[in-house]
Amino acid sequence: MTPEKKNQRRLRNLALLSLLLLLVGGTFAFQAFNQRAINDRLRENIPGGRVHDYYNRDTKNKDVFVENYGNVPLMARIRLSEFMEKRSAGDTDFTPIVNGTIRDQVNTWTVMRPSETNLNTRVGDSAAFNTYANLTFGWTRSGQDAPWFMPTFNRDNQDLMTASAGHARDWVTSTATDGVTDGATHPGDGTDAYWSSGDSFDNSGPVWPGEEVSHDAAQNLQQERAPMTISQWAALPNNLKVGNFWVIDHQTGWAYWANQLQAGETTSYLLDAAQMTAAADNIPGEYYYGIHVDGQLISPDRINDFLAADPDYTHHADLSDFLTAVQNGFIDNNWGNPGPDDNVQPDQINFSIMAPGTIFTMAGEQYRYLENQGGGNHLIIRNNVIENISFNNQDTRINEWYESLDTTVQAMVRPVTNGFVTGELPYEDVLWSEGISGWMPTNINDFIEISADVTRVNTSGSPQAFALSFVDVVRLSEVGHVFSSLEQRESGDERWWWLRTPRSETLAWSVLGTPRSGQLGGGGGRNHVSPAGGIRPALIINQPL
């Protein structure tokens, strides 16, 4: 209900009450039986993850990562095994470079185990490969955002098939080790940056295993730190030990994602390339080289599965602490960050491990953490409302609020678009999912300007505070995000708050307060001022990785 209509109804009710008091001559009796309401939702928790392996033997590109396509968090680990054999000109048989290994028996291949201090140097039997193949761990490109991939079409969580593209071969569909047999299960040629923003693929047919649907390319998470060994992880400060990066137990070769992989998220690359060295290219004859990728996914309540004894190796002593940290989301109290009411400076907060919805107080202002946008950029919003401000005066008051911030906070703020193109969204044209008015629109893409008004860093703009857009709230309400329920949209003081999206020339959208808390409402007059609501300025801040 709009603040105007709410006040009108209150005045009308007061007038009726006054009339009743007059009619009964000073005696007023009242009964209200069986006022009832139900708000419910049926949801099935469906875990689902897929290992992606994109490989192109011509370019030596090799991308290995994990996608969570389900709607619950997962924990992930991957182990790489290598095999190589060579044959001199005129010889009949190949000779493996590690004794006892056999090409067509993958379980005999050599587990890739790095040294304790350097991922690029293998140790033990694995050291034999240092001469012939260089592995590139992690993914970094100067000035570039995280890479893009095509989400899996195979949503059967009982299927152990990988999403293998290009010259990569899934082990379920093809156990061939001849270097030429096809066994791909996923679109793409395995080359670097094959997918990009705006790409899509129609799997009607189906062309590849899985659902006959069309998917748009999606983006991997930005790695917050380069892959490291578990000894290097143990040396990190506690508040940096959980985040979006890979940690390899150098004793067993298992590489673990150092964070719960939330619904809809996809890890950064564990492996980005496998390049043969000059020594391999100068072998007088021929050689075969292969990498086997073994991926395992669990729900966070099953960390003992990852701690089970390995028949060939001993887990590092810190693995239990590591898995517990990932399971809990932190390795010490309160995510390794100060409490919600502890007033601290920005350098005392580690935003990279902060969970969506976390409340924190920074330089005298209390905020709520909304989203990690990658590249060290984080979306936050003022926790409580600044009341008695109209929609028409919103920008002015947000700018004044920004100018009053501590200079250490202003120094962290990233630029966004100057003068957002918001469009107007008529309430009556919006269709709502699940029959819940004000929850999630089903036809938002029908409104081009509205759906495009997503707040991201824009280096052509200015560092500034802003109001969230209608589509910002919708996007952040998807499964696994901060506003995944109506209650989570509420301000800290349970008041309504303006968005930057107008409904018409005279009305604007807001997130409603009590009694329709969290619903998107479009009935607020642009000039309306009320102590029951106002503005919630938001910021994109940057903390270097």
DSSP for 415-467, please give it.
EE-SS-------GGG--BGGG-TTS-BS-GGGSHHHHH------TTSEE--BP
Residue 461 confidence (pLDDT): 96
Residue 37 confidence (pLDDT): 56
Closest CA to 476 of 360, 368, 371: 371
Q: Are 385 and 495 in contact (CB under 8 A)?
A: yes
Rg for the chain, CA atoms, rounded: 28
CA dist 280 and 211 (Å) reads 41
CA dist 230 and 249 (Å) reads 5
Residue 44 binned pLDDT confidence (cut-offs 50, 70, 90): low
pLDDT in tens, 273-332: 999 999 999 999 999 999 999 999 999 989 999 999 999 999 999 999 999 989 988 765
Q: How many residues does this entry show for the chain?
A: 545
Asked whether the predicted pLDDT for residue 2 surpasses 60, the reply is: no
Residue 3 confidence (pLDDT): 38
Cα atoms in the Cβ-side hemisphere of radius 13 Å centred on 400: 8
Residue 27 confidence (pLDDT): 39
pLDDT in tens, 421-462: 999 999 999 999 877 889 999 999 999 999 999 999 999 999
CA dist 272 and 303 (Å) reads 27
pLDDT in tens, 51-63: 999 999 889 899 9
Q: Which residues on adjacent β-strands are paired with residue 86?
A: 95, 287
Residue 6 confidence (pLDDT): 37
Asked whether the predicted pLDDT for residue 40 surpasses 80, the reply is: no
Q: Which amino acid is at 59?
A: T
Q: Which amino acid is at 448?
A: I
